[in-house]
Amino acid sequence: MEERVHLPVLQKEVIEYLNPKPNENFIDCTIGEGGHTLAIIERVLPKGRVLGIDWSPELIQELKIKTQKSKIKNNLVLVCDNFVNLKEIVEREKFQPVSGILFDLGMSSWHLEKSGRGFSFQKDETLDMRYNPQNPLTAEKIINQWPESEIKKVLKEYGEERFAKRIAKEVVEIRKIKPIKSTFQLVEVIRKAIPGESKRGRIHFATRSFQALRIAVNDELENLKKALPQTKEILESGGRLVVISFHSLEDRIIKNFLKEEKGLQILTKKPIRPRREEIKINPRSRSAKLRAAIKL
């Protein structure tokens, strides 16, 4: 194969907790490159369907092309939208009844490797970080236009970055001289702001700042908070919800929602983590946590 295959995280566990059966319908709120969905469709044939949602038009387009001649084309409904509008999408597509809903909150490999939108600090690209090009907010706008206090708040709250104050101050100093437009420029700013010993940690010193900006640009945490309660209205009784998160902020929102929501029974006492073999094959899966519940 000419390109690296996208590896869906915790695939075996997703199937185990969603437990798809022939002729049931499922929703994949973050279809990405379609890995989880294809595994679900295999199990819901002949008449079951999957509603696949993604906010990135390129990913939806790619999947349309990939599946238009395949035997599953009638089992797949593809929608380019934000999962914050979940209930509205389900009503619009008349997609009922629903036996299970999946959120895989990890970024798709496509965003890092092919989008050219500055999601990775290892490539020199424009500071964009939007999942959808129609979103008016970019990382460049935050870095060059927002006040120091707001930048500090974003880095601290969304990146849990302990040097948020120093980085925000450095950003504001540098942008007075010239705008910060590329990922490599931003990495240099962060490098200057962070004390020496902290640059040699296990994770790259720019990781938290990049995560924070991506979350802020796409309003990821607020969207998750708004989307989770909608799942309960959509699921049939006995329907299952599976959510995979990749950092503590998301996991906290999911954990609290499952704990406080009446009418849901938690299926995972502790979050499910990838096995060592999976992390070896797919290092990006190392921070994944899966939580699942069933609607009573």
Into how many domains does the chain fold? 2
Indicate the residue among 218, 248, 276 that finishes a domain.
218
pTM of the model: 0.95
pLDDT tens-digit series, residues 92-128? 999 999 999 999 998 888 999 999 999 999 999 999 9
Residue 208 has pLDDT above 90, yes or no: yes
H-only helix segments in the chain: 11-18, 35-44, 57-67, 86-92, 109-113, 139-145, 148-159, 164-177, 183-193, 207-218, 220-234, 248-260, 276-281
- C-alpha to C-alpha distance for 127 and 207, rounded to whole angstroms: 14
Indicate the residue among 190, 218, 246 that finishes a domain.
218
Residue 5 has pLDDT above 70, yes or no: no
Please, which pLDDT band fits residue 6 given cuts at 50, 70 and 90?
Answer: low
Please, which pLDDT band fits residue 199 given cuts at 50, 70 and 90?
Answer: confident
The per-residue pLDDT for 2 is 27
Q: Do 94 and 142 share a domain, yes or no?
A: no
Q: Do 103 and 18 share a domain, yes or no?
A: yes
Q: What is the CATH number of the domain that holds 45?
A: 3.40.50.150
- C-alpha to C-alpha distance for 98 and 76, rounded to whole angstroms: 14
